Amino acid sequence: MKRTAEIVLTVIGIVLFGLPIILSGILLNTKDNPQVRQELESFMNSPEMQMEGQMNINQIVDAMGSFAMFVLIASLIAIGLGILAIVFLKGDKKPKAAGIILIITAVIFTFATFGMGLFGAAAFLIAGIVALVRKKKSTVEDGGTIDY
């Protein structure tokens, strides 16, 4: 049985999980940019932003870098699991395992990427459900059934 629909949806999900990687890369590049640091300092020193327990600029930049790295790693893991699911779907080897992997990946990595991987997760979820629900076709020949 061909699993073309599931494979195509999984590839779409992999491509869409590439978007958080691109955004994280941009954020990691701007983290070390002195011009961005200067803009952030001027923004934090403005009268509207004066508050108690003011965070240090270095703490903000470090938190931004940690956030970007976490999203980057989470997206790479989701892409790896998507590739594993494609391997399981190729040749109809383990469609149930692929479906479970895709559904669990969709749920976990929607939250792990803080919603940035929502569209990729939606594609994974649809592919996972289709992989679990689709049954093998059987035909009747000479009074018996043959499974393909």
Output 30 or 73, whichever has higher pLDDT: 73
Range scoring the smallest mean pLDDT among 5-14, 26-35, 70-79, 116-125: 26-35
> Model confidence at 146, in pLDDT bands (50, 70, 90)?
low
> Model confidence at 56, in pLDDT bands (50, 70, 90)?
confident
Q: Is the pLDDT of residue 140 over 80?
A: no
Q: Say how many Å lie between the first and final Cα of the chain, rounded.
A: 7
SS3 breakdown of the chain: % helix, strand, coil, rounded to 5? 75, 5, 20
Q: Is the pLDDT of residue 124 over 70?
A: yes
